Amino acid sequence: MQETSKHTLDINAIRADFPILQRKINGKPLVYFDNAATSQTPQQVINAIVHYYSDYNANIHRGVHSLSQIATDAYEQAREKIRAHFNAEHVHEIIFTAGTTHAINLVAHGYSQLLNEQDEVIVSAMEHHSNIVPWQMMCEKTGAKLKVIPMTENGELELDTFDQLLNDNTKLVFVNHVSNALGTINPIEEIIEKTHAVGAKVLIDGAQAAPHIKADVQALDIDYYTVSAHKMCGPTGVGVLYGKEELLEALPPYQGGGEMIAEVDFEKTTYAGLPHKFEAGTPNISGGIAFGVALDYMNNIGFDAIADYEMELLVYATNQLNEIGDVRIYGTAVEQKTAVISFNIEGIHSYDIGTLLDKMGVAVRTGHHCAQPIMKFYKIPGTVRASFSFYNTKEEIDTFIEAVKKAKSMLL
């Protein structure tokens, strides 16, 4: 693994955009390495939320008054930004949700009315719980059979076994674009091609990929793609489901209520067209608008520049960590990996390391990372996960490494 960079980022200027990076934790400067759980928010996005509530707070799509029109325009402009970012063909293929979990449940609910006991669905062994449990619930309702693509010791999917699992009864395949626990970038292009060859559809959980990789849903021929704004410098409580128009049209509504109807009568209700069919009730208006601003912010920096710089951080941290004795890194698909390092120190519980690192101002994630099947595969209760973003620095990694060394000396 070698450091490579084709772009130069003004890291000091970028860091100045994030107010929280200036604070201290336990008297130490904050080193925030929990970006895989949620990213930090730049002032530009914070300003967008404040601006909505202080200047044009109103409900959308329903009012003829000026504030409602302004809010509606801003919300729909954000939807168009998201469409352009992921290169969806139609803006109505972008469905606002409460996040990736909501988006996956929306699709699973729809298929629970479309599948039967003859059908099979396939999930990978390295999924987040939000891309496992909804499908298990769907299978319980329909009788469909759930199959699992196994993984290798270095944290990659066994695609030869995937080939054997696919057959004419396969209706859905769901796999994350990037593993939240390991950082592995899965070969979704190959998975999609093989899935389509048997006439099945694919849902890609893009929550962990979207902060690092700009997915082109048309070029990849993706059927469904899900993302969460809070992992992309945006607010919590908002995300997106992309779906091909004809597939979304075929799914039944997920929730009933205002906005998702065409006409309501006690005898029969007819539903609105896309995207409103899946957007019942008052949405997270400020969140949707702010998501658009967050995408603007990241695109202004450039996703190629972000990827190059984060790879530098990943290589630097991995090399430093490997020099500490008794460290095992989980997920070593080094050529196909985002800036995530999951590790343990032999003889020390991950929670103890994380607690001591926090005392030194370093924020990492510990535990099973909502990916218990991965932990069971490695026969461990959890890991320490350090995840980097484009606003992190090598100096912060140095602080992190020294903190790990100190924690190890205190605990062994």
- Give start and end residues of each alpha helix (H) in 302-368: 303-322, 350-359
Single-letter residue type at 7: H
Residues 104 and 243: their CA atoms lie apart, in Å, by 11
CA distances from 319 to 7, 18, 324, 394 (A): 22, 28, 9, 12
Write b or e for each residue in 384-393: b if 16 or more Cβ atoms lie within 10 A of its Cβ, otherwise e.
bbbbbbbbbb
Cβ–Cβ contacts within 10 Å for residue 7, how many? Answer: 12
Cis-peptide into 134, omega within 30 deg:
no
DSSP string, 154-172: TS-B-HHHHHHH--TTEEE
Residue 27 CA to its chain's centroid (Å): 32
Q: How far apart are the first and last CA of the chain?
A: 30
* Contact (Cβ atoms closer than 8 angstroms) between residue 364 and residue 34: yes
Task: List residues with catalytic annotation.
Answer: 370
* Contact (Cβ atoms closer than 8 angstroms) between residue 60 and residue 72: yes
Place of tokens 């209700």: 269
Which has the closest alpha carbon to 326: 398, 396, 411? 411
